[in-house]
Amino acid sequence: MGDKPFDNINMIPFIDVMLVLLTIVLTTSTFIASGKIPINLPQAEIEAKEDKKTLVITIDKAGTIYYEDGSIGLDELGGRLSAFAKDTPILLRADKTIALQIFIDAADMLNRLEFSKVAVMTESK
């Protein structure tokens, strides 16, 4: 009695498992990608890429400045950043509804400290 060879392989269970894995990856990646402080980013054509070595400064919709997930004053922030090298990448995340003067004050402080790699985070359209 000879065994009958397989003519085809049932791919439906394999596809089901892959779809579940894809759902898990997409769900967890959205939690990882979003920041801890809720802000509405302005839109631009080109999106700034965040690097692991990048210092992140966040300004929420109330105008509060955050550095390393803690609220900080502008003068204290300047003191902390002065210890870093001038070519350290800095990512400035600001809510699109803040007063322009708060953003300008933060950008001006980074300019006075002579940081050369400053990016503003936006959302793509």
Predicted local distance difference test score (pLDDT) of residue 32: 55
Predicted local distance difference test score (pLDDT) of residue 86: 87
* pTM of structure: 0.57
Predicted local distance difference test score (pLDDT) of residue 15: 92
| Owner of token pair 């759902």 | 23
Domains and CATH numbers, the chain: 43-124 (3.30.420.270)
Average pLDDT per block of 10 residues along the chain, 125 residues long: 75 91 81 62 66 78 85 88 87 88 89 88 80
Predicted local distance difference test score (pLDDT) of residue 10: 85
Predicted local distance difference test score (pLDDT) of residue 37: 65
